[in-house]
A and B are shown apart, each in its own frame.
Chain A
C-alpha cells in the first residue's frame, strides 16, 4: 500500500500568513493527489484535485502543486475560516489513502 506522510502535523499561524503543508507519497502517484479541509464535527470538503486543480467554489487563496511523490498545499493570506485540519489523499489502482492530517491553529 502507498503511504502518505504530511508535515507538519500541527502548524500555528496568524491571519494573513502564507501557509504551506507538504505531503509525501511512499512511491510515485503521478498527479493523483487531492486535498481536503475538515472542521470539527463536519465532513471533509474537497479543495484541490489532481494535485493542482481548484475545486469549484473554493477560494483562490488555496493552491496545490507537485507531482510524483511530493506535493504541497499553499494558503496565501490565511483567513479566520481557514483554521481547520487538512488532509491529502492519493489514488492508485483502486486504493485510496489519506495522510495523517495537518491541524492549522491560531497563533
Chain B
C-alpha cells in the first residue's frame, strides 16, 4: 500500500525549534516530489514547500521562504519540515503529500498537529 505516515502531534513554546517527519512506503520514494501543506485552525490549505528526494531539490512558497526548512533522508524514505524558532502563529495542522505528474498531490499523510503556546 502506498502511504505517507507523519510523526505525532507536538506541543511547543514560542521560540523553540521543531522538526516533524513524513515517511513514505509502498513506492519508490526517491522518484516523487514531496510537498508540505499548512492548514491553520478552521482555515484552508496553503502550499508551503516541496522537495525532490532524488536530488534534494527544493522549492518554497514566497510566503514560507525563510520561515521553514525542508529536507529529506532518502536512506529512510523520510521527508522533514523544521522550524528554528516557533511562533504562536505556527499553530496548525501540517500535511505532507506526494506530488504526481508535476501538478497534483495524490497521496497525503494523516497530518501532524503543531500547537505553539506559552
Contacts and interface: CB of A to CB of B under 8 A. Distances in A.
A49 B110 contact: no
Question: Chain B at the A interface: mostly helix, strand, loop or mixed?
Answer: strand
Contacts of A36: 45, 105
A10 to B, nearest CB: 13
A44 interface: yes
Interface residues of B, number: 23
Nearest to B96: A43
Q: Identify the interface centre among B100, B105, B109: most chain A CB within 10 Å of its CB.
A: B105
- The size bracket of the interface on A is 20 to 34
A95 B61 contact: yes
A89 interface: yes
Contact of B95 (A1, A32, A44, A99): A44
A49 B44 contact: no
A100 B106 contact: no
Given A96-B47, A98-B47, A46 B104 contact: yes
A40 to B, nearest CB: 10
B45 A87 contact: yes
Contact of A98 (B45, B59, B106, B111): B45
A3 B105 CA distance: 18
A22 interface: no
A46 B106 contact: yes
B103 interface: yes
Nearest to B57: A94
Contacts of B53: none
A94 B47 contact: no
B104 A49 contact: yes
Interface of B: 35, 37, 44-47, 50, 59, 61-62, 95, 97, 100-106, 108-111
Interface of A: 1, 32, 34, 36, 38, 43-46, 49-50, 55, 87, 89, 91, 94-101
